[in-house]
Chain A
Amino acid sequence: MALLRRIWIATILVNLVVLIIFVGLSALQFGNINSGLVGDRLGVLAERTAAPFEAAAKIGLPLSTVRNAKALLERARQFDEEIINILVFDASGAVVHSTSVEAPARISAEAMVTRNAAQGEPWYKETKEGFLSSIDIVSSKGATAGGIMIVYPRGGSFTRVLAMTAELAFVAILTLALSTLAGYFLFRFALRPQLLQFESIEENITNFEKAAWRHAAGQGWDNSLHSKHDANMELYELLMHTEDNYDTIGKSLATERGSEK
């Protein structure tokens, strides 16, 4: 029973650790998937918003000269009330139009690095300032004239990831409870011969201890004490044999010590 209890507790602990890792990695992956979906959606809007600016860039006009730019950006913002800011920036990263009155002078360094790494492809990134999604505006010569960047709150994504984690954690706890219960019975039945063998080892040890103190009190070794499951008495005999060896050597040492004195 001690062995069964030990294995059972180990099963619960290992299963718990593995499920925590699984839920953790799944939550992270869901965060990635969710970011991808939000990025895709904002990409559609950024592409739509970029069209009139691209038309201006194609005929060689700087992005800052586009008339009613603010209205164009506001119209895009109305597609989603949650959008924090939509801004247009030039090739150097300086913000030329924005829906927000407190627009930064330039897009952040982090956004600039990501934009450079994207090499003209649409990109998105979760940053401290929010979820950023951007698309480049290409001029007539094929060079980049700047880009459109949508700043979106991260709160929604975070809440969705938390909700997902809570749901998965609930499923994991339920599974853990079920597997704990099933594991107990499975071990009990599947390991029956081994558990009996192990019990016989423990029984042999306990019986050897009894036999040893009786032996010390003058009684001979009692072979009947060995475990019934241990048909060939191997462990019991081994313990008796080594105890005899210890006893003999110990007595010899005592004799030698006595003769020395």
Chain B
Amino acid sequence: MKMHGNNFNRESFRIRVSAILFAIIAVSVLMVGAGTIITFDRAVEPELSKRTRLIASIAREDIQRALDIGIKLDEIVGLERYLGEVLHKFDEVEHIAVSSVSGEILAMVVGSSPSTSEDKSYLGEVFAFSETLFKLPILDGNKTVGDITIKISPLFIQSRIRSVFLDVTVIALVAMLIALELVLAVAIASVDKPLTRIYALLEEQVSNRFLHTIDHGGGGTLSRLAERLNDRAFDLASRMRGLPANARSIVSDKLGTMIADHAPHKLRLSDVADIRLTLFLFSAATEISTSFLPIYARDAARPLWLSSEFAAAGPILMYLIALAALSPFGGRLSRRFGARNLFFASVPPTILALIMMGWSDSVLEITFWRGVMALFYATATIACQEFAVRASGTNGNNTGISAYITVIFAGVLCGSAMGGVISGRFGFEIAFFSGAFIASVAGLTSVFAMRGRAGDPERALPLPDSRIQATASYGLSYWALVIGVAAPMSATVAIFIWYMTPLMLSELGLSPADIARVVMLYYLCTVVLGPLFSHFAKTPKHMVILVVCGALISVVGLYSMNFWQGVWPIVFSVTVLGLGHAVMRIPLYVLALDAGGGQTSCLTPMRLVERCGAVVGLAISALLLNNLDVEFIVRALAAVVLVGIVLFIAGNGYEKVKRGET
């Protein structure tokens, strides 16, 4: 928004300050992260050595027992077979040998050698892991008759350190995402907002309108100036009140002034960035159980008729159904009561649901409270979406939608990673309580952050943009977009990312932590690449191109599963799918807003179709999985996305022809 007399480029200043601040914090986190890996490496070594020593002691004791009954060391039958069993039982043992006191090897079994293994990791080269070799003497009475040597594979230690490295990377990522939100909040609160407020008030006063005052934050000369400008409005308003009505109208008419009838109101400016920290915290709080909810639900008490698989999927299904059920009303509620009130009212039930989920013993209770949480998650996030779209009204909706999507996904990433760490250490209950605490902080920040006019009920809002005044119209291009693109995208996420990827990776032997890391790649793509691609979405034509390209990339990601199998192909697919959706997600929402006449209410049918698509897709694929293989379902999903693209292009083309565009 270019204002009169403002030669200070606040946007560029905000970007520059945020970039430098973020760089400083990222470097700090990376430095401490490197320190953490080195410290972890050193700290786990004694415990690993203790385990190795224990294995060696057990093997020695078994051999010693044979010596105790009078069998000589070189006469023990099946010594090699026994050593083979030890090697087989403990993966980390690379080589085990029994030798006589003269050094002659009596029995030796060797596993795969890490020195020749192609599986040596890069980490092993960065951190020089020492070879762990244990040599324990074997006694026959008072005489040493030989010794047992055990060598532990450095690959085993490397695999542990690899896991540590990945853990630290995830934590660093969480810290940096939190940093980004804090940095933006600080940069805006300390410099951007005070200046914006001053220029906005000067803009009013230069055209003889003395109706508002502003907060005098910002410190120093800015605060002093804000006080002065406020005082003008207060002074004129009080003097005006002292005049009779006819004198008031004479002054107003003569000078063309507008002076507040009573005390001047505070000017409440809204910015998309206002909801960032609040939405981020709320999203992180509600997603705190993402990484462990299926396990938590599976292990909880359940009725006899409910299988453990269905129990694990129950809360997710309930979550989606509750979201779909509230989709038609969320936007209307937000416009009726105001985004600020709706968000704030959604926080206490969310806190209650999180606490009750932590206290739940049975899967039915967990599912019920997850459903309750989903209802209020829907109202809170829709409120934020409405706020973001309204706040960015005059800047183009791209900014609002882009910020909204990026922040939601960043919150999901942070919440699930934090939930994993906290539940691993303190248990599921504490993880849920932590979520409740973060949700309450989100509620508190919303009180300050959503004070702007974009948070007011619709009847109290002016119509700032000509697009907003247009009536919502759902033309063919809108439905082609919603049914052809939005629904398949949502179904792909539910089927492939939430359901099939964990299933396939689990079958390939990956731990829940590794599965979570792979799934995280999808969200990371949206968080990092989404805002980048949104910069290319300047015109509707660009947006259509981005949507089609994104959908085609997601098809490539899904089809790639046909050509190669294994962990890395799945990682590739998830990443490519994340990339595709990062390209299309923001333009998709902006196109929907444009196609629906620019009204935020036009997002309602889209939300409903999206969520119904996810529920139906998930249910169908869960049913089909009993009879059909995973590859077939993924192929069918890719085909649905392709058909959707054709539908979208056809619908869009028809609408253009109808409007007479070329």
A→B interface (CB under 8 Å): 2-3, 6-7, 10-11, 13-15, 17-19, 21-23, 25-26, 28-34, 37-38, 40-41, 44-45, 48, 79-80, 117, 160, 163-164, 167-168, 171-172, 175-176, 178-179, 182-183, 186-187, 190-191, 194, 197-198, 201-202, 205-206, 209, 230, 232, 234-235, 237-239, 241-242, 245-246, 248-250, 252-254, 256-257, 259-260
Nearest CB of chain A from residue B518's CB, rounded to whole Å: 18
How far, in angstroms, from A156 to B174 measured CA to CA in the complex? 29
Using Cβ atoms and an 8 Å threshold, which residues of chain B touch A182? 24
Which chain B residues in 208-241 approach chain A with CB under 8 Å? 208, 210, 219-222, 224-225, 228-229, 232, 235-236, 239-240
A18-B28, A191-B20, A197-B13 known; 10 new pairs, CB 8 Å cut-off, are: A17-B182, A18-B176, A22-B29, A33-B44, A33-B164, A79-B54, A171-B32, A198-B8, A238-B206, A256-B251
A-B contact pairs, 14 of them (CB 8 A): A11-B21, A15-B179, A17-B178, A19-B32, A19-B175, A22-B32, A28-B424, A37-B44, A44-B55, A164-B39, A194-B17, A249-B259, A256-B251, A257-B243
The residue that A117 contacts in the complex, of B5, B35, B299, with Cβ under 8 A, is B299
How far, in angstroms, from A97 to B167 measured CA to CA in the complex? 40
- Inter-chain contact A32/B425, CB cutoff 8 Å: yes
Nearest CB of chain B from residue A26's CB, rounded to whole Å: 5
Nearest CB of chain B from residue A62's CB, rounded to whole Å: 26
The residue that A14 contacts in the complex, of B27, B33, B40, B183, with Cβ under 8 A, is B183
Using Cβ atoms and an 8 Å threshold, which residues of chain A touch B225? 205, 239
- Inter-chain contact A250/B55, CB cutoff 8 Å: no
- Inter-chain contact A260/B247, CB cutoff 8 Å: yes
How far, in angstroms, from A43 to B49 measured CA to CA in the complex? 15
How far, in angstroms, from A198 to B221 measured CA to CA in the complex? 11
The residue that A234 contacts in the complex, of B6, B44, B191, with Cβ under 8 A, is B6
- Inter-chain contact A18/B31, CB cutoff 8 Å: no
- Inter-chain contact B255/A248, CB cutoff 8 Å: yes
Residue of A nearest to B231 (CB): A246
Given known A-B contacts A25-B174, A29-B421, A19 and B206 have beta carbons under 8 A apart: no
Please name the 8 residue pairs, one residue from A and one from B, whose CB atoms are nearest each other, closest first. Answer: A238-B5, A171-B35, A234-B5, A37-B47, A242-B205, A32-B424, A22-B175, A41-B51
How far, in angstroms, from A6 to B24 measured CA to CA in the complex? 16
- Inter-chain contact A44/B44, CB cutoff 8 Å: no
The residue that A19 contacts in the complex, of B29, B47, B57, B90, with Cβ under 8 A, is B29
Using Cβ atoms and an 8 Å threshold, which residues of chain A touch B24? 11, 15, 179, 182-183, 186
How far, in angstroms, from A13 to B185 measured CA to CA in the complex? 12
Residue of A nearest to B35 (CB): A171
**Looking at B31, B36, B171, B236, which has the most chain A CB atoms within 10 Å of its CB?**
B36
- Inter-chain contact A168/B243, CB cutoff 8 Å: no
How far, in angstroms, from A19 to B48 measured CA to CA in the complex? 29
Residue of A nearest to B185 (CB): A14
* B143: Cβ under 8 A from any A Cβ: no
- Inter-chain contact A250/B54, CB cutoff 8 Å: no
Given known A-B contacts A19-B28, A26-B36, A235-B5, A7 and B191 have beta carbons under 8 A apart: yes
How far, in angstroms, from A17 to B17 measured CA to CA in the complex? 18
The residue that B47 contacts in the complex, of A38, A187, A249, with Cβ under 8 A, is A38
Residue of A nearest to B47 (CB): A37
The residue that B168 contacts in the complex, of A11, A26, A79, A235, with Cβ under 8 A, is A26
* B67: Cβ under 8 A from any A Cβ: no
How far, in angstroms, from A171 to B28 measured CA to CA in the complex? 10
- Inter-chain contact B47/A44, CB cutoff 8 Å: no
- Inter-chain contact A32/B421, CB cutoff 8 Å: yes
Name the interface size band of chain B: 35 or more
**Looking at B28, B235, B421, which has the most chain A CB atoms within 10 Å of its CB?**
B28
The residue that B186 contacts in the complex, of A10, A202, A239, A260, with Cβ under 8 A, is A10
- Inter-chain contact B220/A202, CB cutoff 8 Å: yes
Residue of A nearest to B203 (CB): A238
Nearest CB of chain A from residue B368's CB, rounded to whole Å: 21
Given known A-B contacts A44-B54, A241-B206, A250-B236, A25 and B175 have beta carbons under 8 A apart: yes
Task: Mark contacts of B161-196 with chain A using CB atoms, 8 A cut-off: 1 yes-contact digit, 0 otherwise.
Answer: 001100110011011101100110011001100010
* B445: Cβ under 8 A from any A Cβ: no
Using Cβ atoms and an 8 Å threshold, which residues of chain A touch B8? 194, 197-198, 201
Given known A-B contacts A246-B210, A249-B251, A249-B257, A41 and B54 have beta carbons under 8 A apart: yes
Using Cβ atoms and an 8 Å threshold, which residues of chain B touch A241? 206
Using Cβ atoms and an 8 Å threshold, which residues of chain B touch A178? 31
- Inter-chain contact B40/A33, CB cutoff 8 Å: yes
Nearest CB of chain A from residue B248's CB, rounded to whole Å: 8
How far, in angstroms, from A222 to B6 measured CA to CA in the complex? 20
How far, in angstroms, from A204 to B509 measured CA to CA in the complex? 67
How far, in angstroms, from A179 to B176 measured CA to CA in the complex? 15
* B250: Cβ under 8 A from any A Cβ: yes
Residue of A nearest to B207 (CB): A245
Nearest CB of chain A from residue B93's CB, rounded to whole Å: 11
Task: Mark contacts of B43-70 with chain A using CB atoms, 8 A cut-off: 1 yes-contact digit, 0 otherwise.
Answer: 1100110110011011000000000000
Using Cβ atoms and an 8 Å threshold, which residues of chain B touch A197? 7-9, 13
- Inter-chain contact B35/A168, CB cutoff 8 Å: yes
* B202: Cβ under 8 A from any A Cβ: yes
* B78: Cβ under 8 A from any A Cβ: no
* B541: Cβ under 8 A from any A Cβ: no
Nearest CB of chain B from residue A189's CB, rounded to whole Å: 10
Using Cβ atoms and an 8 Å threshold, which residues of chain B touch A191? 13, 16-17, 20
How far, in angstroms, from A248 to B239 measured CA to CA in the complex? 13
* B422: Cβ under 8 A from any A Cβ: yes
- Inter-chain contact A28/B27, CB cutoff 8 Å: no
- Inter-chain contact A14/B5, CB cutoff 8 Å: no
Using Cβ atoms and an 8 Å threshold, which residues of chain B touch A230? 7
